[in-house]
Amino acid sequence: MITKMKKLTFLVYHKEYDAFLDGVRNLGVVHIAEKQKGVPDNAELQESIRLSARLKSTLKLFQSLAQSPNVESNSASPERGLEILNEVDALQSEKSKLQQQLQAYQKEQATLEPWGNFDPRNLTRLKDAGLTIGFYTCPEKKYNLEWEDSYNAFIINRLSGHIYFITATENALDISIDAEQMKLPSSSLEELQNSCAQIEEALVKNEHKLTELANEQASLLETLKKNNSDIEFSKVLLNTEAIAGEKLMLLQGWAPAVKTTKIGEWLDQQQVYYEIADPTPEDDVPIELNNKGFFAWFDPICKLYMLPKYNELDLTPFFAPFFMIFFGLCLGDSGYGLFLFLGATGYRIFAKNVSATMKPILSLIQVLAVSTFFCGLLTGTFFGANIYGIDVPFLQNMKGRIFMDNNEMFRLSLILGVIQVLFGMALKAVNQTIQFGFKYAIATIGWLVLLISTGFAALLPGILPLGGTVHLCILGVAAVAIFFYNSPGKNIFLNIGLGVWDSYNMATGLLGDILSYVRLFALGLSGGILAGVFNSLAVGMSPDNVILGPIVMVLIFVAGHAINIFMNVLGAMVHPMRLTFVEFFKNSGYQGGGKEYKPFKNSI
């Protein structure tokens, strides 16, 4: 169900406008109508948006650092949050510089390690005394012993097939050696090691300071809330139209019809002109889904696709039962259903502080798990094992009543597809009647009559013979509706042409839509086969050992079924969604494109 909305128009004196907006925000029920699309060209707002991004990035960093985050501190304040943000930026900048220095020192240290620890100042003294020390490296096979006589070469080290050696020659001597000459750092190895140790110690202190700040993230959250509130306030100002020489401020918005009494009482106390009206067909009305109980649990699935428009049906209550059954058939294992139900129920009972947004999700998991359990009984699959193979009277009695083989499951999938597609077409007729009037739904009703009567005649020829006089009369009435009421109010020949085109699309598309439902049978079958394979592996690969055998069998069983549950739950969500969003929504004429109702309210 879609909540009924009312259009609100406010006219406020400019000096009282900020105070008026504060009051509207405190009410927290008015969705402000947007006039400016995209990112507003406003320096103050752009700065607030950048600040919001910095705050979110810092909070994400804190989540990985804080050991016992103080998220509900009474001393938390937005002002302290800004101080923390600046301190974090400074620490992050310092950390980046320290890491760059450490990398540079580590590179120099790696260059010096083959040569050992020596004082570079001694090289300068030797040069002043008339000797030049050269540092070289080359592969062992290229080292020439003659260099020792010609250039006083001395081998210092051998590493990874390379020789590191020095030469000691007179300053004026020109050296010609087939080796790579090394340029060494101006510091000693010991000095570089000390520098690295100091930087690593500074990095540890830097990390410790960040961790201490992370435990104060409550203030950062307060800053984020205040900043988001400021962003919303700025956006409202940008969606305000100044009139009468900018003396009056015109603002439009939307609110649920049930809350307009409360809004009217507050507005009567203000010095403003206001008007509350019904939306027109041209208005872009925000959407608030108002489903209750079982149907409300499926709202997030509808939102994954898109919200309906204001003047069309909310299909959530209509696809919810189908989705539940489809999920159960795709997963198709009673053991998996029982596992999911117990897991969701256990989390709901024992987890501390389950959020309000999490509870509907857990309820949805429980419902889907129950569907999986009962759908699994159709084939008798329990963690890949056939429970109907157990010689127990109760199970054998159930097998005789509800067991279905692969052929019957295949037919069940197609029957469910036919039912949902025809149900979608019926909803399309209702939707067209609501939006445009009954005459626009006549063609869709004609297709329903044609398809249902043909199916009835094929299944029950004794009551309604296929191609008989009564059936032909029904088909004639359906044909008139299809070819002459395809587009009411237009030329008759155009209607006939559109009817032919619609017939072509129906003939080519309907069969494909129905066959798509075979995936319900295919996924359940493949999941059951894979579960059985893991059971066989668990038994066959366990060693013949009293102690080790059961351990290996349990490990393979648990790991295999964990993988299978993950893969099949993913498929059992994706494929019913596809059947809903493509086959069902298409045949029901669903347009969508609604914008979610988001009231202007305090976030602090």
The verdict on residue 583 lying in a domain is: no
Looking at residue 107, what is its pLDDT? 93
Looking at residue 45, what is its pLDDT? 74
The secondary structure of 344-375 as a DSSP string is HHHHHHHSSS--TTHHHHHHHHHHHHHHHHHH
CB-side neighbour CA atoms (13 Å) of 570 = 6
- Ranges in the chain, pLDDT < 70: 36-42, 66-75, 172, 489, 491, 603-604
**Do 164 and 157 touch, CB atoms closer than 8 A?**
yes
The verdict on residue 577 lying in a domain is: no
**Do 539 and 557 touch, CB atoms closer than 8 A?**
no
Show which of 240, 272, 287 is a domain's final residue.
287
Place of tokens 């020792």: 148
Q: What is the dihedral of CA 530, 534, 537, 539, to 10 degrees?
A: -130
Proportion of the chain in helix, strand, coil states, percent, rounded to 5: 65, 10, 25
Looking at residue 74, what is its pLDDT? 59
Amino acid making up residue 559 = A
| Strands 381-382 and 385-386, bridge-based pairing | antiparallel
The verdict on residue 399 lying in a domain is: no
Amino acid making up residue 66 = A
**Do 276 and 260 touch, CB atoms closer than 8 A?**
yes
Q: Is 74 helix (H, G, I), strand (E, B) or coil?
A: coil
The verdict on residue 563 lying in a domain is: no
**Do 584 and 216 touch, CB atoms closer than 8 A?**
no
Residues 133 and 280 in one domain: no
Domain tally for the chain? 2
Place of tokens 């510091």: 187
Looking at residue 320, what is its pLDDT? 92
The secondary structure of 441-456 as a DSSP string is GHHHHHHHHHHHHHHH
Looking at residue 67, what is its pLDDT? 55
The verdict on residue 148 lying in a domain is: yes
Show which of 287, 314, 343 is a domain's final residue.
287
Q: How far is CA 37 from the centre of its chain?
A: 25
Show which of 137, 159, 183 is a domain's final residue.
183
**Closest CA relative to residue 339, chosen from 142, 558, 137:** 558
Q: What are the beta bridge partners of residue 170? A: 131
The verdict on residue 582 lying in a domain is: no
Looking at residue 103, what is its pLDDT? 94
**Closest CA relative to residue 70, chosen from 216, 264, 276, 227:** 216
The verdict on residue 261 lying in a domain is: yes
**Spatial separation of the C-alpha atoms in residues 6 and 264, rounded to whole Å:** 12
Q: Is 342 helix (H, G, I), strand (E, B) or coil?
A: helix
**Closest CA relative to residue 9, chosen from 265, 286, 264:** 264
This prediction has a pTM of 0.73
**Do 422 and 448 touch, CB atoms closer than 8 A?**
yes
Amino acid making up residue 483 = F
The residue segments making up the domain with residue 240 are 5-78+215-287
Residues 219 and 177 in one domain: no
**Do 138 and 178 touch, CB atoms closer than 8 A?**
yes
The verdict on residue 266 lying in a domain is: yes
